[in-house]
Chain A
Amino acid sequence: MVSLRSADPASGASGIFDDPFVTGAAVFIGLLGSFVIGILSGMRSRGQKTYVHHIAISALTGLAGLINGRERSWRADEWMADLEQSATPIRYAAGVVGAALRMRLSDLAQLGVRPMCWVLASDLRTWGMLGPVMAIAIANVHAEQGWGSAFFTLPGVVAFYAGVEWLRHRWGIEVKRGRRPEGE
Chain B
Amino acid sequence: MTSPPPKIRMTTPTRLVLDLLLATDPDDPPWGYRITEETGLGPGTVYPILERLEQAGWITGAWEDGIPEGRPRRRFYSLSGTGRVEYAAARASRRKGWVPTLGHITRRSN
Contacts and interface: CB of A to CB of B under 8 A. Distances in A.
Interface of A: 75, 77-86, 92, 95-99, 101-103, 106, 110, 114, 161-162, 165-166, 169-172
Grouping DSSP codes into helix (H, G, I), strand (E, B) and loop, the A interface class, with mixed when no group exceeds half, is helix
A84 B105 contact: no
A103 B46 CA distance: 11
B75 A99 contact: no
Nearest to A82: B33
Interface in B23-82: 31-33, 36, 42-48, 51-52, 71-75
Q: Which 6 A-B pairs have the closest CB atoms?
A: A98-B44, A95-B43, A99-B47, A82-B33, A81-B72, A95-B44
Contacts of B72: 77, 80-81, 84
Nearest to B68: A81
Nearest to A104: B48
Interface string B1-37: 0010011000000000000000000000001110010
B44 A96 contact: yes
Given A80-B72, A82-B31, A85-B33, A106 B43 contact: no
B82 to A, nearest CB: 15
Contacts of A92: 33, 36, 43
Contacts of B36: 82, 92, 95
B48 A78 contact: no
18 contacts: A77-B72, A77-B73, A81-B74, A82-B32, A82-B74, A83-B33, A84-B71, A95-B36, A96-B47, A97-B44, A106-B48, A106-B52, A110-B3, A114-B3, A161-B105, A162-B105, A165-B105, A169-B100
A20 to B, nearest CB: 51
Given A84-B72, A99-B48, A165 B43 contact: no
Nearest to B98: A166
Contacts of A79: 32, 43, 47
Contacts of B43: 79, 82, 92, 95-96, 98-99
Contacts of A82: 31-33, 36, 43, 74
A81 B31 contact: yes
